[in-house]
Amino acid sequence: MRLKVKVLATETGGKLIVTLSKEDAEELGVKSGGRVKIKFNNNELTAVADVVTHTVRSGLIGMFDEVQQNLKVNDGDIVEVEAASFPKSLSYIRSKLNRRPLTYDEIYQIVKDVIDGNLSESEIATFITALETIGLDLEETYNLTVAMVNTGGQLKFDKQFVVDKHSIGGVPGDKTSLILVPIVAAGGLTIPKSSSRAITSASGTADRAEALMPVDLDLNEMQRVVNETNGCLVWGGALHLAPADDIFVQIEYPLQIDPLMLPSIMSKKRAVGSKFLIIDLPTGRGSKMKTIGNAELVAKDFIELGRRLGIQTQCAITYGEQPLGNSIGPNLEAKETLEVLMNKKSSPDLIDKVTHLAGMLFEMTGKNHGRNLALEILKNGKAEKKMREIIYQQGGDSEVKPEDLKIGEYGLEIKAEHDGLVLWIDNNLMVEIARAAGSPKDKEAGIVLHKKVGHIVKKGEPLFTIYATKTSKLKDAEKILETNPIGVGDRHEMLIGSVKETPKGKRAFILER
Neighbours of 432 (CB within 10 A): 22
From the CA atom positions of the chain, what is the Rg in Å? Answer: 25
Determine if 342 is a binding residue for its own copies (CB under 8 A). Answer: no
Q: What is the sign of the dihedral through the CA atoms of 257, 260, 262 and 266?
A: negative
* HSE-up of residue 120 (Cα within 13 Å, Cβ side): 13
Total binding residues for its own copies by CB under 8 A?
61
Q: Is the peptide bond before 330 cis (omega within 30 degrees of 0)?
A: no
258 is catalytic: yes
Rounded CA-CA distance 228/237 in Å is 22
Q: Least distance (Å) from its own copies to the CB of residue 92?
A: 8
298: closest CA among 166, 181, 171, 426?
Answer: 166
Determine if 62 is a binding residue for its own copies (CB under 8 A). Answer: yes
Among 2, 4, 32, 397, contact with its own copies (rule: CB under 8 A): 32
Of 454-513, binders to its own copies (CB under 8 A) are: 504-505, 507
Among 4, 27, 379, 454, contact with its own copies (rule: CB under 8 A): 27
Determine if 132 is a binding residue for its own copies (CB under 8 A). Answer: yes
Residue 344, classed as helix, strand or coil, is: coil
Of 254-283, binders to its own copies (CB under 8 A) are: 254-257
The nearer residue to its own copies, 96 or 165, going by C-beta atoms, is 96
Rounded CA-CA distance 370/393 in Å is 27
Determine if 134 is a binding residue for its own copies (CB under 8 A). Answer: yes
Determine if 419 is a binding residue for its own copies (CB under 8 A). Answer: no
Among 441, 458, 459, 479, contact with its own copies (rule: CB under 8 A): 441
Angle at 115 between CA 152 and CA 128, to 5 degrees: 105
6: closest CA among 32, 26, 24?
Answer: 24
The nearer residue to its own copies, 134 or 453, going by C-beta atoms, is 134
Q: What ranges make up the beta strands (E) of 97-227?
A: 163-167, 191-195
Q: Is 499 exposed, middle or buried (0-12, 13-18, 19+ CB in 10 A)?
A: exposed
Q: What ranges make up the beta strands (E) of 427-478?
A: 446-449, 456-457, 462-468
* HSE-up of residue 189 (Cα within 13 Å, Cβ side): 33
Of 103-122, binders to its own copies (CB under 8 A) are: 120-122
Rounded CA-CA distance 313/270 in Å is 12
Among 43, 55, 58, 154, contact with its own copies (rule: CB under 8 A): 55
The contact mask relative to its own copies for 212-251 (x = CB under 8 A, - = no) is: --------------------------------------xx
The contact mask relative to its own copies for 65-104 (x = CB under 8 A, - = no) is: x-------------------xx-x-xxxxxx-x-------
| Annotated catalytic residue within 24, 258, 301, 426 | 258
Among 3, 24, 30, 34, contact with its own copies (rule: CB under 8 A): 34
Binding site for its own copies (CB under 8 A): 8-15, 19, 26-27, 29, 31-34, 50-56, 62, 64-65, 85-86, 88, 90-95, 97, 120-126, 128-130, 132-134, 250-251, 253-257, 435, 441, 504-505, 507
